[in-house]
Chains A and B, each alone.
Chain A
Amino acid sequence: MHPIDWLIVFGYLAYIVWDGLRRTRGREGVEGYFLANRSMPWWVVGLSVMATQMSAITLVGTTGQGASDGMRFVQFYFGLPLAMLILSVTLVPFFHRAKVYTAYEFLERRFDPKTRSMTSGLFLLSRGMAVGVVISAPAVILSATLGLSFPLAVALIGVPAVAYTVFGGVEAVQWVDVKQMVLIVGGLGALLVMLFAGIPGDVGVGNALRLAGETGRLDTFDFSFSLTETYTFWSGVIGGLFLMLSYFGTDQSQVQRYLTARSLDDARSSLFMSAYWKIPLQAMVLLIGVLVFVYYLFSAPPLLFNTEHEAAVRAGAAAEYQAIDARYDAAFRERRAAALDFARARDAGDDALADRMADRFLTRNEEMEAVRGDALGLAERTTGQNPRDVNYIIPAFVLSELPIAIPGLFIAAVLAAAMSSIAAELNSLSTATIIDFYRRHLRPAATDAHYLNASRAATALWGVFACGIALYAVSLGSLIEVVNRFGSFFYGSILGVFMLAMIPRARPLGAFVGLIAGMLTVGLVDWRTDIAFLWLNVVGAFAVVAVGMLLSLLQRGGEDTPTALEAAGIDA
């Protein structure tokens, strides 16, 4: 990268740390540290919720997915607006009125301490490991793309985020998130404008989008009802609804955002911001990928976007790689010629010729994809690693094709996206550790100052743990995969416990046993069937409710168990 780009990156990092640290003043108590004294305006909370979800992998991986697979991934989010509506009339008012610090604290009031400890413990286990991946995944890409050492890339992402989270608490995290979101959305918008402007004048936007459409990249909707297909309209609307209900309603990294809101109305409005903007934003991210595909119709793309792997293959299998590269170059020239002929035929109004050119274009495109598949196979055989080349498409494009200052802004936006997710997760991990375990079980009667110091120490320890996991993530690969897979087993199940909490007749034993039964059911379904993962959330939630209600109905006594309204202190 050019020195000006580096200046932009380091200038931004310095600004973010300074801005986060200056929020340290005036927030002395533990409620200030974890919940900003429940004083945040809705728009800050809303932007923070969106920044937390917008990870670095969204910026580089999802755009890459748009380039290679098109728009259909956006269906994953179709259940989100409805989830926000449901949460705003169910869990959000209960959490807000109960004045809890964690979502799991509410479960103790409604059920018992062991249900709270188990759900909170499951959150700590899965998020603790996942936050390491949130650091390592972009660090791997940045180190390969920028030529940095891997530990330095981890430090670039982890150290600023840990610094402002430890000292500034949730208020620093959320105000910094506002700046991060401005940079991320601004960066994406600039990229979109440059990509549209970069479409050759003799082709035009309409023809360029037609070419992308011919390859199926603009096909957003798949109405087929298949339980094994990952991204369809129905898996997004139904499976996605349950996933989003679980994520926004029961995951402390999200719940804590809107617990800081100064009123119930502000909490609801903050969630509606995601309901309005998440799908358009995600569509924009994917469209950027589609336009990068269009860009490379007229400008020769590299055979492998992962430069580290390309160098390894050039060194280890030079002759074979050169032969594939020559085939790729020939296929590219023919595809470009077909694309230009297609555009000319359409501009001349010759539909029959345009149809023939479209067929020729598609044949050449398939040839190119087949040759690229050969190159990816060679890279995997040579390096012994999955190239994950799709994650390198956008960074390679930005760094090699765009003018000075834009790469710096893009890398700063990737760092911003990574930091905003990490900061929120560290903050919520620390909250669950201190509130659900340390204060609940170990030191129930210490001073507020003691808890504040313990909270800062817990945030720092989680930060060190996350960076440690990130450094060893490559060698811990399979273990992390197991933990993440395990995490997907209980997402729907935890939602099931909160659904039970809303049912007056549900009892503590039913909730606890139902949670275990739900996770076992999901594990069994995943093991014995090919059902797509979004549907596992539905299975888990309903298994918990079914087992939990059955036990509750069979159980004698327990009439003194508080209802959700009583647990939240709401007069019925």
Chain B
Amino acid sequence: MSAGRPPDAPYGPEPRPRRSTRSLYARVLIVQALTLIALWLLQQTFGGG
């Protein structure tokens, strides 16, 4: 599904978002949490200095 207007068309109405903005925000926070957990596990498993 194309989300944007044709490249050289004048500014038209804003295209409909691909997916809900709220689910995008939730996904960002979940990925951030998973990344930090992975780094924390790396530290807990092999760290010790």
Contacts and interface: CB of A to CB of B under 8 A. Distances in A.
Contacts of B49: 213-219
Interface in B19-49: 21, 24-25, 27-29, 31-32, 35-36, 39-40, 42-43, 45-49
Scoring A84, A265, A268, A269 by chain B CB atoms within 10 A of each residue's CB, the highest score goes to: A265
Nearest to B16: A265
A451 interface: no
A395 B14 CA distance: 47
B41 to A, nearest CB: 10
B28 A263 contact: no
B5 A263 contact: yes
A362 to B, nearest CB: 8
Given A269-B18, A269-B24, A283 B39 contact: yes
B14 A212 contact: no
A39 B48 contact: no
Contacts of B48: 210, 213-214
Given A262-B3, A264-B14, A265-B18, A218 B42 contact: yes
Contacts of B35: 279-280, 283
A428 to B, nearest CB: 22
14 contacts: A74-B39, A99-B11, A210-B48, A212-B46, A218-B43, A219-B43, A220-B42, A262-B3, A262-B5, A262-B7, A262-B15, A264-B14, A265-B17, A280-B35
Contacts of B11: 38, 99
Contacts of A215: 49
B19 to A, nearest CB: 9
Q: Is the interface of A mostly helix, strand, loop or mixed?
A: helix
A275 B3 contact: no
Given A81-B28, A272-B24, A220 B5 contact: no
Contacts of A279: 32, 35-36
A266 B3 contact: yes
Given A265-B3, A268-B21, 11 more contacts: A39-B4, A41-B4, A71-B42, A71-B43, A88-B25, A209-B45, A212-B46, A214-B48, A214-B49, A263-B14, A275-B31
A122 B24 CA distance: 34
A221 interface: yes
Chain A interface bracket (under 10, 10 to 19, 20 to 34, 35 or more): 35 or more
Question: Nearest 9 A-B pairs (CB), nearest first?
Answer: A216-B49, A262-B4, A39-B7, A213-B46, A209-B46, A81-B32, A265-B17, A213-B47, A220-B39
A276 interface: yes
A85 interface: yes
Scoring A209, A218, A266, A283 by chain B CB atoms within 10 A of each residue's CB, the highest score goes to: A218
Nearest to A32: B8
A260 to B, nearest CB: 11
A37 interface: yes
A313 B36 CA distance: 43
Given A99-B11, A213-B48, A218-B42, A276 B28 contact: yes
Interface string A451-473: 00000000000000000000000
Contacts of A213: 43, 46-49
Interface in A153-206: 206
Contact of B43 (A220, A264, A275): A220
Contacts of A263: 3-5, 14-15
Contact of A216 (B15, B21, B28, B47): B47
B4 A218 contact: no
